[in-house]
Amino acid sequence: MSKMSELATTLDDLTRVVKAVITCGEDVLRAVAHVREFFSGNDNAVPKPQEPVKTAEPVVEAPAPKAYTKEEVRAILADLSQNGFRNEAKALVRKYSDGGSLTDIDPAKYPDLVAEAEALHG
């Protein structure tokens, strides 16, 4: 048997197993609905077996932004300045600081500042 036919056979088997799992899940949901109906006595609250059951989408959390130190931000801005973006580097510092210097920038704003600096420098 060639590798392709083995793969096709395996995929067919996998498809049958997945369909069986889906059917099993639907049967479990119907059983839960019947038990709920039995204990609640409320026929309107139970989904009908033919109705598709909506499942919640998994929540995907965005990764936390990297925490930069003042020295790292200073190095990034210095690199920006040395590569012809001196005015842009100064503008970023003014944008993110209250007093116009790197020491006045809240460290929580470092990731945003770095993102803008990297967008300028490429």
Tokens representing residue 13 in the block: 């088997």
**pLDDT tens-place string over residues 60-87:** 777 777 889 999 999 999 999 999 999 9
- Give the span between the Cα atoms of 118 and 122, in whole angstroms: 6
Do 47 and 33 meet the contact criterion of CB atoms below 8 Å apart? yes
**pLDDT tens-place string over residues 86-99:** 999 999 999 998 88
In this prediction, residue 66 carries a pLDDT of 84
Mean pLDDT of 111-122: 86
Task: Show me where the domains of the chain are located.
Answer: 3-45, 70-121
pLDDT band at residue 30, thresholds of 50, 70 and 90? confident
- Give the span between the Cα atoms of 88 and 79, in whole angstroms: 12
Find, among 116, 35, 103, 45, the residue nearest to 76 by Cα: 116
